């Protein structure tokens, strides 16, 4: 796990599709980006950032999410998911996260990931889940 720097920012643009709407999650008629979809966008942006900084036998796993959903974005909206490293504590990396569309902040908060050895992590699962 090297090269991670506090203050470093990584961004991706993700277009909202029908399977990311509140309607798809069961809130009929609410055809805007759902809270879990925005969280997923932010988490996957952090995953891709981490992939650039960890070893081939390592993965990062999400261990904390604390966000506020502030505004809506329609299907087709290009959402900018932005993660900024805010703290590094041994094998844990904390991020300030923000999703925005057309200059409007949709979601803001924090996210934390831990770096694990993939093989050890999978072997630690209870037997029925392996």
pLDDT, tens digit, 9 for 90 and up, residues 55-110: 999 999 999 999 999 999 999 999 999 999 999 999 999 999 999 999 999 999 99
Pairing of strands 58-69, 104-117: antiparallel
Instruction: Record the tokens describing residue 86, joined without a space.
Output: 């805010």
**Dist. CA 119–CA 12, nearest whole Å:** 29
Determine, yes or no, domain membership for 3.
Answer: no
Asked, for residue 4, whether it belongs to a domain, the answer is: no
Extract the tokens encoding 81. 């998911």
Give the helix/strand (H/E) hosting 10.
strand 9-15
The CATH number for 86's domain is 3.10.129.10
Q: Quick one: pLDDT at residue 130? A: 54
CA dihedral sign of residues 40, 41, 45, 46:
negative
- Answer whether residue 2 is part of any domain: no
Q: How many domains does the chain have?
A: 1
Residues identified as active-site: 35, 43, 69
Percent of the chain with pLDDT over 70: 98
Residue 1 lies in a domain: no
Q: Examine residue 107 and state whether it is found in any structural domain, yes or no.
A: yes
Specify the pLDDT at position 116.
Answer: 93
Joined tokens for residue 43: 């988490």
Give the domain range for residue 21: 9-129
Whether the per-residue pLDDT at 42 is higher than 80: the answer is yes
Q: How far apart are the first and last CA of the chain?
A: 26
Q: pTM, whole model, 2 decimals?
A: 0.91
Write down the number of H helices and E strands in the chain: 2, 5
Q: What is the DSSP letter of 29?
A: T
What tokens does 70 get? 């502030």
Asked if the structure places residue 87 within a domain, the reply is yes
């Amino acid at each position: 796990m090297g090269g991670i720097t506090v203050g470093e920012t990584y961004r991706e643009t993700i277009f909202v599709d029908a399977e990311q709407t509140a309607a798809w999650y069961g809130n009929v008629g609410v055809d805007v980006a759902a809270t879990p979809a925005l969280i997923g966008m932010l988490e996957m942006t952090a995953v891709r950032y981490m992939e650039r900084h960890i070893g081939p036998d390592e993965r990062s796993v999400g261990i904390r999410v604390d966000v506020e959903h502030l505004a809506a974005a329609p299907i087709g909206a290009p959402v900018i998911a932005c993660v900024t490293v805010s703290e590094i504590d041994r094998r844990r990396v904390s991020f300030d996260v923000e999703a925005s569309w057309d200059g409007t902040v949709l979601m803001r908060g924090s996210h934390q990931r831990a770096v694990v050895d993939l093989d050890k992590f999978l072997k630690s699962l209870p037997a029925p889940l392996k």
